[in-house]
Amino acid sequence: MVAFHDPSDENALTKRFRDAGIQVTPQRLTIADTLFQCEKHISAEELYLQVREKNPRIGLATIYRTLHILKEKGLVEEHRFNDEFSRYEVKDSTHHDHLICIECGKVVEFGQPVIEHLQDLAAEEKDFTIVSHKLEIYGICKDCRDRKAMKKR
Amino acid sequence: MVAFHDPSDENALTKRFRDAGIQVTPQRLTIADTLFQCEKHISAEELYLQVREKNPRIGLATIYRTLHILKEKGLVEEHRFNDEFSRYEVKDSTHHDHLICIECGKVVEFGQPVIEHLQDLAAEEKDFTIVSHKLEIYGICKDCRDRKAMKKR
DNA sequence: TTGACTGCAAAACTTTTGCAAAAAC
DNA sequence: GTTTTTGCAAAAGTTTTGCAGTCAA
């Protein structure tokens, strides 16, 4: 979880930024570095707090502005599970969907290539050109199920 | 779109409220009536404006409070397409998913029973008890596609 | 040098809450 | 008569914006 700050990462990041046509600044590097190293699905506020530890002079507005850019350039994805605020995750090449526990909020990822085909059918019927999809399955995870069973005596 | 106010609807609504264990008030009837007659996926603000025309003394807070109750009792569903605020739709017995145009924001519904089976597989693997799911497919609708093709000369 | 970015604070926007008055049961 | 609901206004929470100063190229 606590990763050492490896300068090589930063070089790799710099390259990614340039490739994506994103101007490189120390703030953006810090933000992206934190985001890329963090566990999945972080909120802007959480990211802000973590970034703050590395550089307290970075403001929340910069977090948001950077997230917008990263999203626009396709490096991160924005999610809104349930009724909450936005959460962000690094976009990797393999698309996946999410299982969300309605009790504890835990988010588990799963791959589901079959859906790709399914959505094509649906979209074709309605004459849509598909760009992306989001499948969120809401349920109760094992831990919460067990806890509930326990409570009932 | 503009529906006449049929008192029989209100009686039906009253019955639905009682069946669901919701206390009946004029405000709630007006709000639910408006929501039930409206086109799909209305926002709280839009609903407020429409309700206001029937009874200007109803406040926005009451809209939100009523929506919470209706949602809790399973009469309406809340959605958060894209990055927008919440939108609400009347819940009917047949589950459906949504195609959302990323250009114009249009939302089209489609039924997709196969997904029910698919999600079972995914959830079983991760040991989740499924409660519900949301599949949102983002793309470009025919109109927007045509418009874009036109613009390119 | 010049245009893009940052930090701060203030604004914007959606949603929630406290409270006294009013209505429902 | 007690409990629940309402309307208003104010608060809360997340996200955006204006602007003067700073930095990257």
Helix (H) or strand (E) holding B133: strand B128-141
Chain A residues within an 8 Å CB radius of B143: none
Q: Which of B55, B75, B90 is the last residue of a domain?
A: B90
Task: Name the protein residue, with chain letter, whose CA is nearest the C1' of D5.
Answer: B25
Exposure of A42 in the CB half-sphere (CA atoms within 13 A) = 24
**Residue at B55 is within a domain:** yes
A34: Cβ contacts below 8 Å, ≥ 6 apart: A47, A50, A51, A54
Q: What angle do CA A123, B109, A105 make, to 5 degrees?
A: 100
- pLDDT single digits (tens) B29-68: 999 999 998 877 899 999 999 999 999 999 999 999 999 9
For residues A113 and A57, state if they share a domain.
no
pLDDT in tens, chain A (153 residues): 334 444 445 688 898 999 999 999 999 999 999 998 887 789 999 999 999 999 999 999 999 999 999 999 989 989 888 666 888 988 876 778 888 887 777 888 877 655 666 666 666 777 888 777 888 888 888 888 888 788 765
Q: Compute CA distances B97 → A136, B15, B31, B148, whole Å.
A: 11, 28, 25, 26
**Residue at B114 is within a domain:** yes
For residues B121 and B76, state if they share a domain.
no
- pLDDT single digits (tens) B8-37: 456 788 989 999 999 999 999 999 999 998
**Residue at B49 is within a domain:** yes
**Residue at B4 is within a domain:** no
| pLDDT computed for residue A147 by the predictor | 84
**Domain containing A34 — which CATH number?**
1.10.10.10
As a whole number of Å, the end-to-end CA separation of chain A is 37
Domain coverage including residue A15? 10-90
**Residue at B68 is within a domain:** yes
Mean pLDDT for B67-94 is 85
Asked if B141 lies within 8 A of A127 by C-beta distance, the reply is yes
For residues B83 and B140, state if they share a domain.
no
Average pLDDT over all residues of chain B: 81
Asked if A137 lies within 8 A of B133 by C-beta distance, the reply is yes
For residues B73 and B105, state if they share a domain.
no
A16: Cβ contacts below 8 Å, ≥ 6 apart: A32, A75
For residues B47 and B16, state if they share a domain.
yes
For residues B81 and B126, state if they share a domain.
no
For residues B105 and B85, state if they share a domain.
no
**Domain containing A112 — which CATH number?**
3.30.1490.190
For residues B56 and B119, state if they share a domain.
no
In what order do the strands lie in the sheet containing B87-90?
B42-43, B87-90, B76-79
Q: List helix spans (H) across A73-112.
A: none
| pLDDT computed for residue B8 by the predictor | 45
pTM: 0.77
Selecting from B128, B136, B139 the residue whose C-beta is nearest the C-beta of A140 gives B128
Domain count, chain B: 2
Taking each continuous run of H as one helix and of E as one strand, the counts in chain B are 6, 6
| pLDDT computed for residue A39 by the predictor | 72
Nearest to A137 by CA among B123, B133, B150, B146: B133
| pLDDT computed for residue B12 by the predictor | 84
For residues A120 and A104, state if they share a domain.
yes
Tell me the nearest-neighbour CA distance from A60 into chain B, angstroms: 19
- pLDDT single digits (tens) A107-132: 888 776 556 666 666 667 778 887 77
For residues A63 and A104, state if they share a domain.
no
Q: What's the Å distance between residue B70 CA and nucleotide D3 C1'?
A: 20
